[in-house]
Chain A
Amino acid sequence: EPEVTQTPSHQVTQMGQEVILRCVPISNHLYFYWYRQILGQKVEFLVSFYNNEISEKSEIFDDQFSVERPDGSNFTLKIRSTKLEDSAMYFCASSRDGYGYTFGSGTRLTVV
């Protein structure tokens, strides 16, 4: 069964450093998303991406965040200057039709 692949599975970074989280969506999917889940809390929407541009973003997705689809297969989330409160599981998801998403296994980001 096709799956969404995320790397790395765990990243530890120092506060103020830049991180790039990588995702390979399912190949024939057109809609791409980033969500995050702080430990013990809800899964929260960050951003959606369609047709090579951001289609929707949440209040969390401020100027410190950016997304890119640098080629036909990868989808990345960059956090420019990490804060302690950015520590969370970050999930990439993709969808063929914009309805049922397939999520990746996530990247656990720890900011120290």
Chain B
Amino acid sequence: QKEVEQDPGPLSVPEGAIVSLNCTYSNSAFQYFMWYRQYSRKGPELLMYTYSSGNKEDGRFTAQVDKSSKYISLFIRDSQPSDSATYLCAMTYSSASKIIFGSGTRLSIRP
């Protein structure tokens, strides 16, 4: 079983829709969970990170972590064409440990 699994998409939704992106993982030792956005031929850009289970909101973005199910989600409200990118989930065991990335979900927001 892969450590981190993420549906590669592509996912295409109309502008203004709510987008739900998800990852599952197998290692219960992961404690810190992140979402990155990556535009084509650019480096990953950190959107949000959370510690352990729970929700975190930042503007139009909400991250959820359910450690009991080993499942994390990112919700994007009022999606915009500029949100079109690849979204990478990532997780790590502790401070300064290596980050394990998912394979990324390619998202397209149709105007």
Q: Could you tell me if B42 and A43 are in contact, using CB atoms closer than 8 angstroms?
A: no
| B32 contact from A45, A89, A99, Cβ within 8 A | A99
Chain A interface mostly: strand
Within the complex, the shortest CB–CB distance from B88 to chain A, in Å, comes to 7
Q: Could you tell me if B99 and A106 are in contact, using CB atoms closer than 8 angstroms?
A: no
Within the complex, the shortest CB–CB distance from B83 to chain A, in Å, comes to 19
Within the complex, the shortest CB–CB distance from B6 to chain A, in Å, comes to 9
Closest Cβ neighbor of A3 among chain B residues: B43
Which residues of the other chain, A, contact B100 by a CB distance below 8 angstroms? 45
Complex formed: what's the CA distance from A105 to B98 in Å? 19
Which residues of the other chain, B, contact A106 by a CB distance below 8 angstroms? 41-43
Complex formed: what's the CA distance from A58 to B42 in Å? 23
Closest Cβ neighbor of A30 among chain B residues: B96
84-111 of chain A: CB within 8 A of chain B: 89, 91, 93, 95, 97-106, 108
Which residues of the other chain, B, contact A55 by a CB distance below 8 angstroms? 96
What are the 10 tightest A-B residue pairs by CB atom distance, in nearest-first order? A98-B96, A103-B43, A98-B95, A45-B98, A43-B101, A100-B46, A103-B44, A91-B43, A100-B49, A105-B43
Cross-chain pairs A/B with CB under 8 angstroms, 26 sampled: A33-B98, A35-B99, A42-B104, A43-B44, A43-B101, A44-B101, A45-B99, A45-B100, A56-B97, A56-B98, A89-B41, A95-B96, A97-B95, A98-B96, A99-B32, A99-B95, A101-B99, A102-B46, A103-B36, A103-B43, A103-B45, A104-B43, A105-B42, A105-B43, A106-B42, A108-B41
